[in-house]
Chains A and B, each alone.
Chain A
Amino acid sequence: MRDVTQKLRAEQQRREFTANVSHELKTPLHTISGYAELLGCGMVHGEDVAAFSEKIRTEAKRLTQLVEDILRLSRLDEGVPELHWETVDLYALARETLASLSVSAEAADVTVSLEGAPAFLWGAPQLLSSVVFNLVDNAIKYNRAGGMVTVTVTQSGSGTRLSVADTGVGISQEHQERIFERFYRVDKSRSKAAGGTGLGLSIVKHAAQIHGARIKLESVPGTGTIVTLVFPDQQKVSQSVH
C-alpha cells in the first residue's frame, strides 16, 4: 500500500492552476476581441472610440503582465538554471526597484520610503528585484489615498532582513495562510480593478525559497500589513547554492 495523498493534492493543484490560467487568459482576450469587434463593425459612437482603444490597450497590458508572471513562475518551478548569482546590495537594489514604482505610487497617492543601510547577500538580482517589486506593488495597490509604504533593509548577525510595511486594508486571519497560493485573491474585484495577476506573491514565495529566506506576515485588517523576508547570512546561502 502507498499513501498517494500528496500525489492527489499535487494533481488537484495542477488542475486548479490550469483552470485558473485558462480563465485568466481568456477573460482579457475576450474583452480585447469584443471591443475590437465593436470598433470594426461601426457600432461604437464617435465619442467613445478613444476610450475603447484605451480599454484594449489596458487589457493587452494586463495580459502581457500575466503571461510574464506565468513564465517567471514556470522558470522558478524548473529550478531557474539560467539565473545569474552574485553578491547583491539589497538596499541599492530596493532603491532602484522603488524608482520604477514611483509613478504608480504617485497615482495612488501613496508615499513610499526606503530606510536602513547597505546590506549584502548572495543572490540572483533579477529575482530579488521581483520580490521587492511585487511586495511594494501590492503595498501600494492595497493601500488608501494618503497612505504610506515603508521598505526597510537591515543586516545583522542572523542575516539580511527586508520588510515592507503598509498602511493599507490589511488581510484577515482566514486569508493569511493562502495569499501566497497562485491566483488566490482576498478581494477578487479589487485585485482586478488594481490590475493584479494573482501571481505576484507566489513569485515572492518561490524566490524566497530559492534564496533560503523565511517569510513572515503580520497583518491587521483596516490597519496594514508587514511582510518580512529574512535571508540567511551570505556564507550559508553560498554554501547551499554551490
Chain B
Amino acid sequence: MIFCVEDDASARELMLYTLRVSGFEAEGFPDGGRLLEELAEKRPELILLDIMFPDIDGMELLKKIRNAPLTKDIPVIMASAKGTEYDRVMGWIQARFC
C-alpha cells in the first residue's frame, strides 16, 4: 500500500490513478492530519509526501513520521512542486537527522 499526501485534488487524483493502473494499491490524503490519523491504524510500504499543506508543513510532517517508533522506518518520497536546491537539502536533512 502506498499513501499519497497531496492537498491539490487534481494532482492527488493523478498520482493515485497512475499508481493504481501500474498495479499498486494506493490511498490519498488531502492533509497531514488525516495521514497521521490513518498511520495510527495502517502501515503503508511507502509514503509520497507533498511539502505545502494548509494544516502542517510537509517537513514537519516528515519529522513526526521519523520521530514516531511505529512509522520511523516507512520510506518517504517528498513529491512537490517545490524543487529548489534549498528545498531538496531541507528534505534530505529532515529525513536523515531530525
Report A's interface with B, CB cutoff 8 A: 19, 22-23, 26-28, 30-31, 34-35, 38, 43-45, 48, 55, 58-59, 185, 187-189, 192-193
Contacts and interface: CB of A to CB of B under 8 A. Distances in A.
12 contacts: A26-B81, A26-B83, A27-B81, A28-B10, A30-B81, A31-B8, A34-B14, A43-B22, A45-B21, A48-B17, A58-B10, A189-B54
Interface string B1-42: 000000111110110011001100000001100000000000
Contacts of B82: 19, 22-23
A31 B14 contact: yes
Secondary structure at the B interface, as helix, strand, loop or mixed, is loop
A59 B54 contact: no
Contact of A192 (B9, B13, B14, B22): B9
B14 A35 contact: yes
A44 B81 CA distance: 24
B43 to A, nearest CB: 26
A187 B30 CA distance: 12
A55 B9 CA distance: 11
B8 A38 contact: no
Nearest to B86: A19
A30 B17 contact: no
B76 interface: no
Contacts of B22: 43
Given A23-B82, A27-B81, A38 B14 contact: yes
B10 A43 contact: no
A193 B22 CA distance: 27
B21 A34 contact: no
Given A31-B14, A34-B14, A35-B14, A23 B8 contact: no
Given A27-B8, A30-B81, A31-B10, A38 B54 contact: no
B48 interface: no
A23 B54 contact: no
B52 interface: yes
6 nearest interchain CB pairs?
A26-B81, A188-B54, A34-B14, A31-B10, A27-B81, A31-B11
A58 B17 CA distance: 18
A23 B52 contact: yes
Contacts of B31: 189
B14 to A, nearest CB: 5
B54 A55 contact: no
Contact of B18 (A30, A34, A187): A34
